[in-house]
Amino acid sequence: MNTEPLTLRVGNLQVELVRKDIKHLHLGVYPPAGRVRVAAPLALDDDAVRLAVVRRLAWIHKQQRRFEAQSRQSAREMVEGESHYLFGRRYRLGIEYVTGRQSIRVSGGRMLLRCHANADTLKRWRVLERHYRNDLKARLAPMVEHRAAELDLPRPDWRVRWMKTKWGSCATHSRRLWFNLALARVPVECIEYVVTHELLHLIDPTHGEQFLTLLERHIPDWRIRRSKLNLQILDSDADRH
């Protein structure tokens, strides 16, 4: 059973509340804006939910401050020496002017942007974006196929796009998976978690007991991976560019 999300006020904090057929309350703070979401058992009343949120206010505010700081750091000018991430590893950006095809070359701790001399920030960004898209698709293809086979699922249709608030989503009616292009920046083990999470929604569209049992079976350390993922920057580059 899964109900529509409600909004609960706890002091000045707005909390998204979803009631589910689960045993324990789950509280999370999500990028990019520090959205607070609580999944609560059906029998737990609003006052009990508020008390649980109040007890974790210090932790909630700490997470929100971290996301705010990350957001301020996320804008990039695409200039020499900037830090950029690919599959969880940081690279220093180098610039090389070319007259032919623009591209990205990654070697050691350096990410070399080969671009036209008159390329502005947007055009430089598009070169990196294309590299992100190609690399992420190359990683996702065998990952999705392998995990789908493990789950005895037919090969699903999947796409990549920028997403504002989610790392992935599953349209159960069309059996199509969507993955955030920002996953190209995060560690591979986090991508594996997102792939498994979304594929499991083709079996169980909720986050109920069956879903959690299967997730535990296939990724025993999923909580660690989810925590690591939530430390990553989920910004909306598509909006800025």
Q: Is 20 domain-assigned? A: yes
Q: Is 159 domain-assigned? A: yes
Helix (H) or strand (E) holding 107: strand 103-107
Q: Is 78 domain-assigned? A: no
Residues 122 and 213 in one domain: yes
Residues 69 and 89 in one domain: no
> Can you give the pLDDT at residue 156?
93
Domain count for the chain: 2
Q: Is 1 domain-assigned? A: no
> Can you give the pLDDT at residue 1?
44
> Can you give the pLDDT at residue 84?
93
Residues 167 and 94 in one domain: yes
Low-confidence ranges of the chain (pLDDT < 50): 1-2, 73, 236, 238-241
pLDDT for 158-168, tens place per residue? Answer: 999 998 878 99
**In angstroms, how far apart are the furthest CA atoms of the chain?**
66
pLDDT for 57-114, tens place per residue? Answer: 999 988 888 777 665 545 678 999 999 999 999 999 999 999 999 999 999 999 999 9
Residues 205 and 116 in one domain: yes
Residue showing tokens 């049992």: 213
Residues 57 and 108 in one domain: no
CATH number, domain of 139, equals 3.30.2010.10
Q: Is 21 domain-assigned? A: yes
Q: Is 57 domain-assigned? A: yes
Show the domain range for 219: 83-240
Residues 42 and 92 in one domain: no
Residues 173 and 197 in one domain: yes
Q: Is 171 domain-assigned? A: yes
- 237 CB contacts (<8 Å, ≥6 apart)? 125, 129, 162, 181, 182
- Residue that finishes a domain, picked among 45, 73, 101: 73
Q: Strands 110-115 and 89-97: what pairing?
A: parallel
> Can you give the pLDDT at residue 2?
46
Q: Is 60 domain-assigned? A: yes
Q: Strands 89-97 and 83-86: what pairing?
A: antiparallel
> Can you give the pLDDT at residue 74?
53
